[in-house]
């Protein structure tokens, strides 16, 4: 089983619908992240959480919200999806250390029609 699991892996939805992407990890890391990747581009940070009570906005948080339900779970919500939120979304985790390597999930591909 993967250390960082994202669900769903693929989702097609319509404009205005509420969507939740879920991430769970078995690595025991305190830190979790949500990134977005558009075709041909690098990753942009949406939100990050350094522990259950600490949630921070990233570069592109508008239109998104998150919930850290437990150390192992971090969900990303689109309250009212719009077509330009069509992208590949990645969850990642890291340990607290200075060199904290990020471990990524396999991604959730979201299409908003």
Contact residues for other proteins, defined by CB under 8 A = 4, 31, 33, 35, 40-45, 48, 50, 56, 58-59, 90, 92, 94, 98-107
CB of 47 to other proteins, least distance (A): 11
Closest by Cα among 91, 79, 77, 85 to 29? 91
Of 19 and 89, which has the nearer Cβ to other proteins?
A: 89
CB of 17 to other proteins, least distance (A): 25
Residues whose CB falls within 8 Å of the CB of residue 26, separated by 6 or more in sequence, listed in order: 1, 3, 72
Beta bridge partners of residue 99, listed in sequence order = none
Q: What sections of 10-98 are H helices per DSSP? A: none
Of 4 and 112, which has the nearer Cβ to other proteins?
A: 4
């Amino acid at each position: 089983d993967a250390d960082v699991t994202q669900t769903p892996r693929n989702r097609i939805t319509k404009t205005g619908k509420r969507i939740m992407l879920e991430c769970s990890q078995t690595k025991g890391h305190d830190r979790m992240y949500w990134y977005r990747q558009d075709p041909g581009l690098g990753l942009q940070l949406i939100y990050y959480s350094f522990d259950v009570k600490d949630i921070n906005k990233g570069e592109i948080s508008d239109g998104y919200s998150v919930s850290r339900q437990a150390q192992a779970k971090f969900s990303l919500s689109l309250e009212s999806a719009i077509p330009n939120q069509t992208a590949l979304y990645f969850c990642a985790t890291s340990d607290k250390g200075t060199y904290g390597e990020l471990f990524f999930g396999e991604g959730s591909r979201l299409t908003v029609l």
